[in-house]
Every structure is written in C-alpha cells, then in structure tokens.
Amino acid sequence: MRVSLQVSSALVLCQAILGVALPAVEKRATTTTASGPQFTNGQPDDGAGRGGPILGGTNKQIDLDNPDNLGQQSTDNGIVPNFKWRFSDSKTRIFRGGWLREQVIQDLPQSHDISAAQQHLDKGGVRELHWHRVAEWGFVYAGSVLISAVDEFGRYQVEKLNYGDIWYFPKGVAHTVQGLEDGNEFLLVFDDADFDKAGTTFNVDDWIAHTPRDVLAKNFGLPASVFDNVPKPNPNIFNGTVSTKNVTDGPAGYLSGNASFVYRTLQHEPEKVPGGGGEFYKIDSTNFPASKTLAATFVRLKPGGLRELHWHPNAEEWLYFHKGYARATVFVGNTNARTFDFGPGDTAAFPDNSGHYIENTSETEDLVWIEVYKSNRVADIPLTQWLALTPADLVAQTLKIPIEIAESLKKEKQVLIA
C-alpha cells in the first residue's frame, strides 16, 4: 500500500514537473511484470514483483549484453564493485602505421596489479624503440611481428612471432616491435596498473630530442646534425618498411634457451585437463624462465563448458576475453557476490583470492581467453578438490549433504569441465 502510494505520488510529481500525463508508462510496467523475467529483454524485472522497466536513459545494447548487471542472478548479493572494462570504451590512439587502446587503473580501478592494451601494426608499422620501468608481456593474436630486444649484459634477441607466441621483456629491457603481415595485432600486458604515470615509458627519439646537441655529438662521436631529423614529438607508432637487416657480432651473444624472451605457446603441450572441457596452456616461470613477474594461461573452453569453481592463492587475476561469450560470478566474501557477462574485447580483474568460475554461455562457439597474474607462477585451489581432500564427514556436516556424496567428490583438479 505504501509502495503504491509512493509510486502514485511520484507520478503526480512527474506530471507536475513535465506537464504531461504518464499513464502509458504505468500500463507498460504492469504488462512487463505479467510476462515473466525481462532480463534478456534488457529490463531489470524478474517478472515476479522485483524490479521494473527502465524508464530513463539507458544504453539498450549494453543492457542486452549484460543481463547480470540487471539483477538476473538471484544468488548475487551486496555491493560489489565493477570488475570489467571493455576495450571498446577505451580511447583509441590512431597513428600512421597502426593503433593502440589501453586499459589502465584509471579505467578499471579494481585492477591493481596490471594494465594492458591492444595494439595493431600495419605491415612495416613500428612501435618505435623504447623501454619501460615495468615488465612487458605480449601475445600475438593476428598476423606476425618482429621483436628486437637488448638486455643489461648486451645480449640481444631478434625474432619473428606468430599466432599464440608470447614475449616477456623484463623491466628496463630495451625493445621494439614491427608488423610483418598485412594486419598484425597483439595483447600487451604490464605488471603495473598505473601505466600512463610519468616515468613509465622512455622512447628513443623523445630522449634524443631532449638531449643537448653537443652532448649527442660527444656521445656518438658524430656531428650533431646527424640527428636534425629526429621526430619531435616522438610518434609512438609510425609507418615503415619491413626490416631486412640482421644483427650480428653482439659481444655478449644471443638471448636463447632459458634466457629467451620468447615462448611459443602452441609448440608446447597443453596442461592436462581431466574435466575434458577444452584446452589450457600455462605460461609462467616454470616453463618460460624469463617471465618472472607475470604468469599466464591461454584457455579454450568448449560450448557449455565450465572453468571449475576455484581461487588463486597467490594473486589478483587479470583477464582478456578474445572470442566467444562468458559468464562469471565473483564471490568476494562476507555474503557478497556479483555476476558478470563477458564478450570479445572485454577485460576484467578479479580480486586476490576471490572465488569464481567462468562459464561458456554460447551454444556453438568456443570461448577463448587469457589470464595474467602478477606472479612468477599460475596457482589455483579448486573447490571440489579441497572438499574431496577434507574428511568426508566434516564436509557432509558442513554442507548438510549426504556423506556418500562427499566421499565421491573428484580428488583431481578438473580445470575445465565439459
């Protein structure tokens, strides 16, 4: 009674402010409620008396893509911050030679450990020579690129990378990347969330342009006029021609074997996935020794598959969704949980140690994503394995389930359940 009184006084107020009558709205609300849950129609209405239609401004497409933001999951509870960022909401910086769009802590404040970007290089396009005060990790998902790097010992590496290949440049290692095919694109991940902070990236021409000319002359033993055409401001990405020169005679040799900054994911066996739900590659310092501050997985989950309920004892989880559609609920403790819907180009950061799953919500399409942790290793504890390796009677008493069920739980990690 009190509710309907409030509603009708609100309506009267609206009518007074807008100078219009709103009976049609009221009628639509009643109709909506009568026809079952409206989440997949983009309305926060469970069809059973909770919620109602959105009458104000809204982005219909985003509502349709994110039914869980509309309250679809009745198991969600509490105020849980947003853990998702769409690269499509980033400002794309366009250059001759390619483009770049980032996700930094100012975009996704819940990503405390990691920032990231998608970068595109045309054939011959160059991400100019530079270094960072943070480590850089890259995953090629289209075309192929040339990477070139030099470390503190004067060791160097020049390699062509293709789909699925990964690079890791430790903090401070000098490097550059060039696109080799008609279209080349990769994911960049950094082990610091505040990537745009001053003092994070150092570009070669920016430095040269801001060094006294007499010092340049002395440093290189060359006339200062050699550097008259160094671009100001530095372009970041520029169009160029594909490199044909090799580096030779490095006094400290080539970065190979365990010192290599390159890991060719698909040339290795995936991890064992007893659950049979897809493929799971782990790339961390146990198989890619250079990658000491970032650990990753590359996952393909079949339609209907589930990345089993688990948490990570060692780190916050950063995610990039490459293909397909997903749903994940993040349990953050103290009765609080929130479900998110993900599609291609979405990123996310799940809090350190929060419980979660990832489900493929497509009937037909594989779900492909990348997880990155600011850690030297990938680590998880699955719910099922935990319960299976705890005295069955304690599990049964805690969850009020039959002891036979507690005794039958799988002791091996399932990882991806079909």
Ligand X SMILES: *[C@@H]1O[C@H](CO)[C@@H](O)[C@H](O)[C@H]1NC(C)=O
Q: Which residues bind ligand X (CB under 6 A)?
A: 96, 124, 239-241, 246, 257-258, 289, 303-304, 327, 359-361, 363
Would the annotation count 120 as a binding residue? no
Report d(CA 168, CA 43) in Å as an integer.
44
For the bound state, the minimum distance from the C-beta of residue 71 to ligand X, rounded and expressed in Å, comes to 16
In the numeric block, the tokens 């150092």 are attached to 202
For the bound state, the minimum distance from the C-beta of residue 178 to ligand X, rounded and expressed in Å, comes to 11
Would the annotation count 317 as a binding residue? yes
Q: Is the CA virtual torsion 203, 204, 209, 214 positive or negative?
A: positive
Select which of 271, 308, 371, 404 is catalytic.
371
C-beta closer to ligand X: residue 249 or 363: 363
Report d(CA 287, CA 284) in Å as an integer.
6
Residue 131: helix, strand or coil by DSSP?
A: strand
C-beta closer to ligand X: residue 165 or 192: 165
C-beta closer to ligand X: residue 96 or 218: 96
Residue 57 Cα to chain centre, angstroms: 29
Q: Which helix (H) or strand (E) holds 340?
A: strand 336-342
Would the annotation count 312 as a binding residue? yes
Would the annotation count 112 as a binding residue? no
DSSP state of 269: P
For the bound state, the minimum distance from the C-beta of residue 116 to ligand X, rounded and expressed in Å, comes to 25
For the bound state, the minimum distance from the C-beta of residue 340 to ligand X, rounded and expressed in Å, comes to 12
Q: Is the CA virtual torsion 398, 403, 408, 412 positive or negative?
A: positive
C-beta closer to ligand X: residue 248 or 334: 248
DSSP state of 75: T
C-beta closer to ligand X: residue 124 or 164: 124
Residue 50 region by backbone torsions, left for phi larger than 0, else alpha for psi between -120 and 50, else beta: beta
Would the annotation count 322 as a binding residue? no
Across 62-194, the runs of DSSP E, i.e. the strands, are 84-86, 92-95, 98-103, 115-122, 126-132, 136-142, 145-150, 156-161, 165-169, 174-179, 183-190
**DSSP track, 159-226:** EEE-TTEEEEE-TT-EEEEEE-SSEEEEEEEES-S-TTSTTSEEEHHHHHHTS-HHHHHHHHTS-GGG
Would the annotation count 175 as a binding residue? yes
C-beta closer to ligand X: residue 47 or 304: 304
- The CA-based angle 405-407-413, given to 5 degrees, is 100
Provide φ and ψ at 127, rounded to 5°.
Answer: -80, 110
For the bound state, the minimum distance from the C-beta of residue 104 to ligand X, rounded and expressed in Å, comes to 29
For the bound state, the minimum distance from the C-beta of residue 356 to ligand X, rounded and expressed in Å, comes to 14
Would the annotation count 365 as a binding residue? no
Instruction: Output the residue with the shortest Cβ distance to ligand X.
Output: 304
Would the annotation count 210 as a binding residue? no
DSSP state of 344: T
Active-site residue 371, yes or no?
Answer: yes
Binding positions: 130, 132, 136, 175, 310, 312, 317, 356
Query: Would you name the residues annotated as active-site residues?
Result: 371
Binding positions for Mn(2+): 130, 132, 136, 175, 310, 312, 317, 356
